[in-house]
Structure 1
Amino acid sequence: MARPRKPLLSRDRIVTAALALIDEEGLAALSTRRLAAELGVSGPSLYNHFATKEAILDAAADTVVTQVDLSMFGDGRDWRQALLDWGRSYRAALTDHPHIVPFLAIGPGLRPAGLRMADAVFGGMVEAGWPPAHATRIGALMRYFVTGSALGSFAGGFVGDADVYDPADYPHLGQAHLLAKHQRQIDSGAFETGLRALIDGLAVQFEALADPGTAPA
């Protein structure tokens, strides 16, 4: 029997094509018609693998989350180092696929990888000694911070024209036109500064929980 000219359609092939389309053109570009065209198949054939377009989007989003390292929750690392390492891995996965971040920011829904990540973080914090309510808040706080950092670029929001920043109007923005050239360095540095400040603040709270007498007035 002759081999088919194109690879057989599969869930993995559909998800890979969907994520590539989102990466290149954004969430609005994803439709079953466009995806079918990219795959060289008829639209209805997609429904043999996914019931709806939303299910394809869920699977594509979950594929991104599977790239996040969760090994630090359970390998003996201190909870502070675990949050640092997880936060960095989480942001790296999102910045590799920035167009899907707004969808991921909604929450894990029923997506398995998203739920496994939430379970790992919550479990890691509880095992470290955080009360369950605080562990839940930490997971939420980290998600807000990481997804927010991946939604856009601070440095990239400034134009490269020095004339825009007239010192008469903006006396402190004389170097702002240089920010976009150093976008990656500035944005990564801002994330690292914020992540460390966040965890340092949590450490103060953790000590106060262990010894209520040290709680700030």
Structure 2
Amino acid sequence: MARPRKPLLSRDRIVEAASSLVDSEGLDAVSTRRLAAVLGVSGPSLYNHFRNKDEILDAVADAVSVQVDLSMFEASDARDWREALHDWALSYRAALAAHPHIVPVLARGPGRRPAGLRVADAVFGAMVGAGWPPAQATRIGALMRYFITGSALGSFAGGFVDDESAYDPADYPHLGQAHLLAERGREVDEGAFEVGLRALLDGLALQYEEYARPTETVRRGRKRP
């Protein structure tokens, strides 16, 4: 029996094609008609794998969540809750920075997405295991998601133009170097994220003594200091 000229359609092929479209052209570029054309199949064949465009975008978002490192939350890892949150946040932001157009979908929350739910489960479990009460662990997970996804929705440095004349000292006496921000975008944005992350974690560390359970042994056998 002759082999088909094109690979059989699969969820993975659809997600890969949709991911490429999102990365290169944005969310509005994705439609079942466009995907079918890219994949060389008929439109209705996509519905054997996904019910609609929203399900496809959810799968694309989950493929990004899979890229987030969760090893720091494993019981065998030596990092404490603060170090774990810091390193996880860097990994999460790196994944979003590589796929910025899908961030609005991720920002809605995990819904039923398996990888997204594993991220939420890992963060919540680690915080409770470290001694945070469940309600506060939930708030920490929400806070981290707001901060990380918010940072990935746009670039502060990219909001300035590379034109010195746009920042007349008579009007903007403190923006004399603003035209240099665009070419230093990555440095500025990553530095701002690190500053904000450390400030956020410093604040949580101050709250830890107030909220953490004083008599319970925390994750990995460590006791609360």
TM-score (normalizing by structure 1): 0.95
Deviation of 1:210 after TM superposition, in Å, equals 5.0
Deviations 1:155-206 (A, max 9, x none): 0110000001000000000000000000000000000110011001100000
Q: Could you tell me whether the CA contact under 8 Å between 2:133 and 2:212 is conserved in 1? A: no
Give distance in 1, aligned partners of 2:18 and 2:179: 36
Q: Which amino acid counterpart does residue 203 of structure 1 have in structure 2?
A: A
What does 1:1-217 align with in structure 2 at a 5 Å threshold? 1-74=1-74, 75-209=77-211
CA RMSD of aligned residues (A): 1.3
SS of 2:72 mapped into structure 1: coil
Deviations 1:14-58 (A, max 9, x none): 001011101111111110000101111110111111122211111
Deviation of 1:78 after TM superposition, in Å, equals 0.3
Give distance in 1, aligned partners of 2:147 and 2:20: 25
Residue identity (%): 77
Give distance in 1, aligned partners of 2:5 and 2:167: 57
Give distance in 2, aligned partners of 1:116 and 1:179: 37
Deviations 1:86-127 (A, max 9, x none): 000000010111001011101111111111110100000000
Give distance in 2, aligned partners of 1:44 and 1:187: 43
Deviation of 1:211 after TM superposition, in Å, equals 9.4
Greater relative contact order structure (CA < 8 Å, 6+ sep): 2
Q: Which amino acid counterpart does residue 101 of structure 2 have in structure 1?
A: H
Structure 1, gaps ≥5 residues long: 213-217
Q: Which amino acid counterpart does residue 166 of structure 1 have in structure 2?
A: D
Structure 2, gaps ≥5 residues long: 215-225
Deviation of 1:136 after TM superposition, in Å, equals 0.3
Q: Could you tell me whether the CA contact under 8 Å between 2:131 and 2:213 is conserved in 1? A: no
Give distance in 2, aligned partners of 1:211 and 1:25: 48
Q: Which amino acid counterpart does residue 52 of structure 1 have in structure 2?
A: N
How many residue pairs match? The answer is 212
Give distance in 2, aligned partners of 1:45 and 1:174: 57
